[in-house]
A and B are shown apart, each in its own frame.
Chain A
Amino acid sequence: MENQPIQEDDNQGLPPLFKTWKQLYITLVVYLLALIVLFYWFTVFFR
């Protein structure tokens, strides 16, 4: 069992909104950034 190169497998099984896995991962990163911005606003607004 060699350490094989890591490849993106086919894009089957993705939710209909996404065409590639990369799009889904970017969405999650953007979601995390949006949460951080929202929480920052929350912290400042209710201080």
Chain B
Amino acid sequence: MQLLDWIVLVSTIAFITIYGIWKSRKEKHDIESYLVSKKMNWWTIGLSIAATQASAITFLSTPGQGFSDGMRFIQFYFGLPLAVIVLSITFVPIFQRLKVYTAYEFLEGRFDLKTRTLCTFLFLTQRGLAAGLTIYAPSLILSIIFGWDIFWTNFSIGMVVIIYTYFGGTTAVSETQKQQMAVIFLGMITAGVMLMQLLPDHIGFGKAVSLAGKMGKLNVIDFTFDWNSRYNIWSGLIGGFFVSMSYFGTDQSQVQRYLGGKTTAESRLGLIFNGFIKIPMQFFILLLGTLVFVFYQFNTPPIFFNQVEVGKIYQTADSLKFRQLEAQYSEIVSQKTAKVAELSDAMDTDSESLIAEKQQSFQEVEAQAQSVRKEAIALIHQNNEKEGKPKATDTNYIFLSFVINHLPAGVIGLLIAVIFCASMSATASELNALASTFVVDVYKRIIKKDGSGTHYLNVSKISNIAWGLYAILFAEFAGALSGSLIEAVNILGSLFYGTILGIFLTAFYLKFVKGTAVFVAAILAEITIIYCWQYTNIFFLWYNVIGCGLVLGISALLSLKDINLTKTVS
């Protein structure tokens, strides 16, 4: 990074931090306003929800996904608009009417203390660990690409968030998220414009998109129903619906965002706003990845984008073989560039047969390139296996590698600021939610019931720091975990989300079910999910559906006696 990049990065982060503290300075500092503002309008809530969901890995990984797998990942978000409608009709008015500060507070009134405490425990466990991974994942990628010390990268992201959430509470979180989203949008649009500038003169936007389509990257919709396929319209609508219901309806880091609405209507509109913007936003990020793919048809990409792994293989006995594969790959990419130019010319003729012929010709060379790349990746995996390390992937490195190698100074700083902003916005909501849940559902409810407002405010601030330090500490040790970190985050969420969603849906829709029945059902569901995770090959996305279904089914079965009794009495 050059001086200009550092100036852009540091000034952006400093401005947002100072702005957050300054904007929340006039807040009356009491426990209520510190944890849940109750003053926000719909667009602040909407942007805050979007910023909480969009962690740094969204902007690092999603373009890589578009590059390597095309656009079909977008289908994962199709269940989201449907989920926000259900939440807007059901969850939001109830939470607002009861004036709760956390989602779990509602459960004590509907069921009992033990069910509330169980949900609180599941949330604190899952979100506490996830906060560490939210900091660690981008730090790892940034430290590998720039050679930064991972300890200080983790520490910097974590400490900046602790500072403004400590001083400004939930207001600072929401206010800074508006600025962070502005930086994110600006950065991604700039990257898109710069990318178009870098394509050859005869390749405009329309031609680039057409080429991406002919090269099989614009596979947005897949109607095939296949249990083994992760992304098709059915898994997107059904699985995506349950994941979104769990995440937006029962995860305090999201619930806290819309609980901050000054009216029920503002909270609802904030949620619905996300139903409208999320899919186009993800579409644009994925499209950026496919356009990076088009860019690399005219420029030679590295055989593997994670250069640290490449550096490691150079130090082994396989170095010569790997270098040969690199040379072979480079040769095939040159041939591929010629084929793409021929395909591009054929597309100008509008001759279907000629286009099909050139498309076929391109696909043959592309298959050769992929075959060589697979051989190279296999070497890297073998090398890692020998050292007892997990398989290396490069999807998360593709976009950042493009940015630092091909974009000008200043824009690089802006895009690194995007990654920092995204990481900070997600972490801030997590810390805020962890502190609120601990104070409202544990400390105030169980440990000390008769404290003053000032006492609880101080505990909230200390709790905020404590959860921040816990997240940084976990991030420091996360490197010792084996396997993919991003997958670890998703599995971690899926282990608990289904059960928690099941408890809430039981609360709302199965009115005859009482506390003990749902508590027993939740424990049994959680044991089953952990069994599935350890002893079956069921794809983790389905844990959400299974956990939720088990809680609803078992709690209803355990309550059949109560239904009969009610009927007899009536």
Instruction: Flag if A13 contacts B265 (CB, 8 Å).
Output: yes
Q: Is the interface of B mostly helix, strand, loop or mixed?
A: helix
* Binary per-residue interface labels of chain A (13-36) against chain B in the complex, 1 for a CB within 8 Å, 0 otherwise: 111000001001100110110011
Q: How far is the CA of A26 from the CA of B450 in the complex (A)?
A: 47
**Restricting to B62-112, which residues have a CB under 8 Å from any CB of A?**
74, 78, 81-82, 84-85, 88-90, 93-94, 97-98, 106, 108-110
- Please name all residues of chain A whose beta carbon is closer than 8 Å to the beta carbon of B90 when the two chains form the complex: 6
Q: How far is the CB of B527 from chain A (nearest CB, A)?
A: 26
Contact of B212 among A6, A13, A35, A46 (CB under 8 A): A46
Instruction: Flag if B81 contacts A32 (CB, 8 Å).
Output: yes
Q: How far is the CB of B451 from chain A (nearest CB, A)?
A: 23
Determine if B428 is an interface residue (Cβ-Cβ < 8 Å).
no
- Please name all residues of chain B whose beta carbon is closer than 8 Å to the beta carbon of A25 when the two chains form the complex: 85, 88-89, 272
- Please name all residues of chain B whose beta carbon is closer than 8 Å to the beta carbon of A46 when the two chains form the complex: 209-210, 212-214, 218
- Please name all residues of chain A whose beta carbon is closer than 8 Å to the beta carbon of B209 when the two chains form the complex: 46
Q: How far is the CA of A35 from the CA of B279 in the complex (A)?
A: 9
* Binary per-residue interface labels of chain B (239-282) against chain A in the complex, 1 for a CB within 8 Å, 0 otherwise: 00000000000000000000000011110110010011001100
- Please name all residues of chain A whose beta carbon is closer than 8 Å to the beta carbon of B197 when the two chains form the complex: none
Q: How far is the CB of B57 from chain A (nearest CB, A)?
A: 24
Determine if B327 is an interface residue (Cβ-Cβ < 8 Å).
no
- Please name all residues of chain A whose beta carbon is closer than 8 Å to the beta carbon of B212 when the two chains form the complex: 46
Q: How far is the CA of A1 from the CA of B107 in the complex (A)?
A: 9
- Please name all residues of chain B whose beta carbon is closer than 8 Å to the beta carbon of A21 when the two chains form the complex: 88-89, 268
Instruction: Flag if B74 contacts A6 (CB, 8 Å).
Output: no
Instruction: Flag if A9 contacts B275 (CB, 8 Å).
Output: no
Determine if B220 is an interface residue (Cβ-Cβ < 8 Å).
yes
Determine if B374 is an interface residue (Cβ-Cβ < 8 Å).
no
Contacts A28-B276, A31-B81, A46-B209 hold; do A6 and B93 have CB atoms under 8 A apart?
yes
Instruction: Flag if B269 contacts A15 (CB, 8 Å).
Output: yes
Contact of A39 among B93, B221, B269 (CB under 8 A): B221
Q: How far is the CA of A34 from the CA of B81 in the complex (A)?
A: 13
- Please name all residues of chain A whose beta carbon is closer than 8 Å to the beta carbon of B82 when the two chains form the complex: 29, 32
Q: How far is the CA of A25 from the CA of B83 in the complex (A)?
A: 11
Instruction: Flag if A28 contacts B275 (CB, 8 Å).
Output: yes
Closest to A13 in B: B265
- Please name all residues of chain B whose beta carbon is closer than 8 Å to the beta carbon of A13 when the two chains form the complex: 263-266, 269
Instruction: Flag if B221 contacts A40 (CB, 8 Å).
Output: yes
Contacts A29-B82, A46-B210, A46-B212 hold; do A36 and B221 have CB atoms under 8 A apart?
yes
**Restricting to B393-442, which residues have a CB under 8 Å from any CB of A?**
none
Q: How far is the CA of A6 from the CA of B263 in the complex (A)?
A: 17
- Please name all residues of chain B whose beta carbon is closer than 8 Å to the beta carbon of A6 when the two chains form the complex: 89-90, 93-94, 508
Determine if B219 is an interface residue (Cβ-Cβ < 8 Å).
yes
Instruction: Flag if A9 contacts B214 (CB, 8 Å).
Output: no
Determine if B448 is an interface residue (Cβ-Cβ < 8 Å).
no
Contacts A24-B272, A25-B89 hold; do A14 and B265 have CB atoms under 8 A apart?
yes
- Please name all residues of chain A whose beta carbon is closer than 8 Å to the beta carbon of B78 when the two chains form the complex: 32, 36
Q: How far is the CB of A23 from chain B (nearest CB, A)?
A: 12
* Binary per-residue interface labels of chain B (192-227) against chain A in the complex, 1 for a CB within 8 Å, 0 otherwise: 000000000000000001101110001111000000
Closest to A47 in B: B213
Q: How far is the CB of A42 from chain B (nearest CB, A)?
A: 5
Instruction: Flag if B233 contacts A36 (CB, 8 Å).
Output: yes
Determine if B133 is an interface residue (Cβ-Cβ < 8 Å).
no
Determine if B511 is an interface residue (Cβ-Cβ < 8 Å).
yes
Determine if B552 is an interface residue (Cβ-Cβ < 8 Å).
no
Closest to B236 in A: A36
Q: How far is the CB of B263 from chain A (nearest CB, A)?
A: 6
Q: How far is the CB of A16 from chain B (nearest CB, A)?
A: 12
Q: How far is the CA of A43 from the CA of B264 in the complex (A)?
A: 39
Q: Which of A2, A3, A4, A31: most chain B Cβ within 10 A?
A: A3
Which 4 residue pairs are nearest across A and B when measured between Cβ atoms?
A: A46-B213, A13-B265, A1-B109, A39-B220
Which B positions have Cβ atoms within 8 angstroms of A? Answer: 74, 78, 81-82, 84-85, 88-90, 93-94, 97-98, 106, 108-110, 209-210, 212-214, 218-221, 233, 263-266, 268-269, 272, 275-276, 279-280, 283, 507-508, 511
A1-B98, A28-B272, A29-B82 known, 5 other contacts, Cβ within 8 Å: A3-B110, A36-B233, A39-B74, A42-B218, A46-B212
Q: List 21 A-B contacts (CB under 8 A).
A: A3-B110, A3-B507, A3-B508, A6-B90, A7-B93, A8-B89, A13-B265, A15-B269, A25-B85, A28-B85, A28-B272, A28-B276, A31-B276, A32-B78, A32-B82, A40-B220, A40-B221, A42-B221, A46-B214, A46-B218, A47-B218
Which A positions have Cβ atoms within 8 angstroms of B? Answer: 1-4, 6-9, 12-15, 21, 24-25, 28-29, 31-32, 35-36, 39-40, 42-43, 45-47
